[in-house]
Amino acid sequence: MTGPEQVAVRLVLNGERVSALVDSDATLVDALREDFDVTGVRIGCRNGDCGTCTALVDDRCVKTCLVLAGRASGSEVRTLEGLGTEESPSAIQQAFMECYSFQCGFCLPGMVFAAEELLDRTPDPTDAQIRDALSGNLCRCTGYQNFVRGVHRAAEIRRDGTSQT
């Protein structure tokens, strides 16, 4: 029995050009984790419900469990690793830490990128806009309220320019 055909996948991943031969039926989340050694996308439901596999693909929030890796070839992909570090967090990462928004952090890829996308288009969002923007992401640890506080705080940091990145 032969395995699935392989396809060449080329990405600009967190600013670096990378390529790999990937099974033609591999999803982008699997390719990122297994072929490109990126763990800032996580595997939850595998059917588009939880959001923990979220990355920015060509500057748009994408649930990478819903995309074949081969289809994403040629794209620019940014994962949590490309956003900031513990020493130099992005405004949203800093705000989520300050506001104790998360506990285990499993849901962070979706929460962080949904918040980024929201603040890029709506710099001073209301509670309702924040809840709407985060609604495609499931968190099993929190009551979501501290994520809402965190997004308000991130908006403040972005306005004041006090983030380290």
* Cα radius of gyration (the chain): 16
Residues forming the site for ligand FES (CB under 6 A) = 43-46, 48-53, 63, 65, 102-107, 139-142
Question: Amino acid identity of 87?
Answer: E
CB 90, min distance to ligand FES, A: 18
CB 20, min distance to ligand FES, A: 20
Q: Is there a contact between 37 and 30 (Cβ–Cβ < 8 Å)? A: no
CA distance from start to end of the chain: 51
Q: Are strands 76-78 and 6-13 parallel, antiparallel or unpaired?
A: parallel
In this complex, which beta carbon is closest to ligand FES, that of residue 21 or of residue 141?
Answer: 141
In this complex, which beta carbon is closest to ligand FES, that of residue 2 or of residue 47?
Answer: 47
CB 39, min distance to ligand FES, A: 14
The structure tokens 């923990």 sit at 52
Q: Is there a contact between 78 and 134 (Cβ–Cβ < 8 Å)? A: no
CB 139, min distance to ligand FES, A: 3
In this complex, which beta carbon is closest to ligand FES, that of residue 51 or of residue 125?
Answer: 51
